[in-house]
Amino acid sequence: MSPSVNPPTASVPELSKIFEPVREELVRVEKEFSRHLESRVDLIPQMGKYIQMSGGKRVRPAVLLMSARLCGYQGDKAVLNAAVVEFIHTATLVHDDIIDEAETRRGRLAAHSRWGNDITVLMGDYLYIRSMALALTQDTLEVVRLLCDVTLKMIEGELFQLTKAGDADITEAEHFEIINRKTAHLFSGCAEIGALLGKCTMAQQEALRAYGFNLGLAFQIIDDVLDYTADERALGKPIGGDLREGKVTLPVIFMLQRADDSTRALVREVVTTRQVTPEAWKVIKDQLIRHGAVDQAYQRSVAYAEDAKRALIGAFPPSVERESLVSLCDYVLSRDR
């Protein structure tokens, strides 16, 4: 984070400690993911293992597993659905990297940079279909419907984002329409699946849905912020990548609400040409700081994280799982990658 952005002041637990209640289940999710990548076509497990080893914090599967435990569920369906969620999320990342022409993913070559777009598109399709095939091995139709709905929303979000690429005049409402669909609904779905598997009231199910949705918004806005504040080596991708991909995200939207015409013209040129000189980058960074745009975006993320906490605390009694989910909100705000 930049010096002007203030992360939570309290000590934030490491992610491994937050995930401790579901550590064994997360190991099983990894094994389930690998098992369902087995194929007579050698390229599929080869690419799948590469993508899986590229890292990722497994936040979404962990939210599902802890939500299920919070609602008293102890069976195998939580692990199965957490693996489904990881397949869906991974498929999205594979396709996103192709669309964004991103050369790296978490410090390694993106799959399409190594195998080419044609093969990688098909691999992303394979992951999507595999996720639905895996989901259909269970008899909880309500969960399958939810997973399908979430996946459709994510694809709609990606399509809408493509229509706004290169648009320096994108509104705050349009940006939130994109991140609601691309990110927040999957987090929300993970938490709600936990409620559907366990025994909880409708009010508690709604609370988990609200928790996940707000956590997803906080998570995505921090991603937007990190694109302008993180260390490139820690982030695992070039800083300023969003603008170079023609994406105007929340910090820049806030800046443009106050910026002068020359700054607006500069941003429009960058997102149109997909190129930025060191001089242009310095001007944009200076304007972000001058107008407090990064801080404003960060504070919006804090507000969503607090909403997520309130939803949980108001609906569930204290427990290890509840406190882990609450701590996850603080972790999201404090992360640097």
Q: Tell whether 294 is covered by a domain.
A: yes
- E strands along the chain, which residues? 104-105, 108-109
Q: Tell whether 10 is covered by a domain.
A: no
> Does residue 1 carry a pLDDT above 60?
no
Q: Tell whether 7 is covered by a domain.
A: no
Chain centre distance of CA 188: 11
First CA to last CA across the chain, in angstroms?
9
The structural domain count of the chain equals 1
> Does residue 8 carry a pLDDT above 60?
no
**Best CA proximity match to 126, nearest among 26, 180, 46, 184:** 46
pLDDT for res 171: 96
Can you give the pTM of this predicted structure? Answer: 0.91
Cα atoms in the Cβ-side hemisphere of radius 13 Å centred on 178: 21
Per-residue pLDDT of 59-75, as tens digits, reads: 999 999 999 999 999 89
Q: Tell whether 2 is covered by a domain.
A: no
Q: Give how far Cα 110 sits from Cα of 20, 41, 115, 139, 203, Å.
A: 30, 21, 9, 36, 42
pLDDT for res 55: 61
Confidence of residue 2 (pLDDT cuts 50, 70, 90): very low
Q: Tell whether 251 is covered by a domain.
A: yes
Q: What DSSP character marks residue 199?
A: -
Full domain range(s) for residue 109: 15-334
Per-residue pLDDT of 294-315, as tens digits, reads: 999 999 999 999 999 999 999 9
User: Mean pLDDT across the chain, nearest whole number?
Assistant: 90
Task: For residue 35, count other CB atoms closer than 10 A to its CB.
Answer: 10
Q: Helix or strand or coil: residue 165?
A: coil
Check: CB of residue 94 under 8 Å from CB of residue 120.
yes
Confidence of residue 98 (pLDDT cuts 50, 70, 90): confident
| Residues linked to residue 108 through DSSP beta bridges, in sequence order | 105
Check: CB of residue 237 under 8 Å from CB of residue 213.
no
Q: What is the CATH number of the domain that holds 36?
A: 1.10.600.10
Summarize the confidence of residues 136-141 as an average pLDDT: 86
Q: Tell whether 8 is covered by a domain.
A: no
